[in-house]
C-alpha cells in the first residue's frame, strides 16, 4: 500500500467522523520533554497536530501490530504505544485526567485491523449459532396449530331434538321433581287443586 502526504493530509482533515480526539502530551524521541499536541484517531491511524486549528498534521502513527500499555512512572496518566521489533519506536503519551487516559487506551486498543478482524469473526460465529438454533426449532414443530378462537363442540350443552310439550306449549323446565313457576299465560298446567286446567278458548 502506497501512502502519500497529500492523501494523508486530506484524510486527517476531512469531515469524516473521528473515533477519538483531544489533547495529549507527547514525549519526544530524543528529548524527554513533553509537548502538548492535538490528537485525532481515525480508523487505525493516529494523527497529531501542533494545534487544534492546524491545517496539516505533524505526524501520524499507524496502529498495526502495537500494544497499548500503561506506564509505571511519575508522569501522571501516561501510557505507551509499543510495536514489536527491536528497532521499533515506542510512543509515550500522557493524558490530562484519568478518564481521558482510560478513553484513549480503550480507543487505541481497538483501532487495529487485527482487533476488528477478531470482532467480525466472533460476530459471524454468533450469527451461525443463532441460525442453527432457529433451524432446529422449526423442524420439530410441523404439526398444524389450531387457534384458540375456534369453539369446542364438547363444551356446548346438548339440546333435545324435540322439546316436550304440554297442551301444545313447550315446557322449558322439564326436569323431574323440579319446582315449576306458576303459569300465568294460561297455556296448559294445573290449577290449585291439582286438576288439569282446560286450554284457553280460541278467539272468534
Distance (Å, whole) CA 66 – CA 104: 14
Domains of the chain: 5-114 (2.30.29.30)
pLDDT at residue number 178: 45
pLDDT at residue number 171: 47
pLDDT at residue number 176: 47
The pTM is what?
A: 0.58
pLDDT at residue number 29: 81
Q: Where are the alpha helices (DSSP H) in the chain?
A: 5-13, 98-109, 113-139
pLDDT at residue number 204: 55
Average pLDDT, the chain: 76
| CA angle in degrees (0–180, nearest 5) for 196-202-203 | 145
From the CA atom positions of the chain, what is the Rg in Å?
Answer: 45
Q: Residue 112 in contact with residue 89, Cβ under 8 Å?
A: no
Which residues of the chain have a pLDDT value below 50?
Answer: 1, 146-154, 156, 159-160, 163, 165, 169-188
In 3D, which of 201, 199, 164, 202 has the Cα closest to residue 183? 199
Amino acid at each position: 500500500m502506497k501512502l502519500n502526504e497529500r492523501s494523508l493530509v486530506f484524510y486527517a482533515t476531512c469531515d469524516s467522523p473521528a473515533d477519538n480526539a483531544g489533547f495529549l502530551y507527547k514525549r519526544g524521541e530524543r528529548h524527554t520533554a513533553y509537548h502538548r499536541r492535538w490528537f485525532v484517531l481515525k480508523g487505525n491511524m493516529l494523527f497529531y497536530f501542533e494545534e487544534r486549528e492546524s491545517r496539516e498534521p505533524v505526524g501520524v502513527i499507524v496502529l498495526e501490530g502495537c500494544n497499548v500499555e500503561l506506564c509505571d512512572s511519575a508522569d501522571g496518566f501516561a501510557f505507551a504505544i509499543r510495536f514489536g521489533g527491536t528497532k521499533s519506536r515506542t510512543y509515550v503519551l500522557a493524558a490530562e485526567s484519568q478518564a481521558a487516559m482510560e478513553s484513549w487506551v480503550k480507543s487505541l486498543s481497538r483501532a487495529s485491523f487485527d482487533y476488528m478482524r477478531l470482532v467480525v469473526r466472533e460476530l459471524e460465529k454468533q450469527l451461525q449459532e443463532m441460525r442453527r438454533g432457529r433451524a432446529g426449532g422449526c423442524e420439530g414443530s410441523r404439526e398444524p396449530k389450531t387457534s384458540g378462537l375456534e369453539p369446542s363442540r364438547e363444551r356446548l350443552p346438548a339440546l333435545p331434538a324435540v322439546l316436550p310439550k304440554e297442551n301444545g306449549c313447550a315446557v322449558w323446565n322439564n326436569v323431574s321433581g323440579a319446582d315449576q313457576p306458576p303459569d300465568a299465560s294460561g297455556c296448559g298446567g294445573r290449577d290449585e287443586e291439582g286438576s288439569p286446567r282446560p286450554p284457553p278458548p280460541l278467539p272468534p
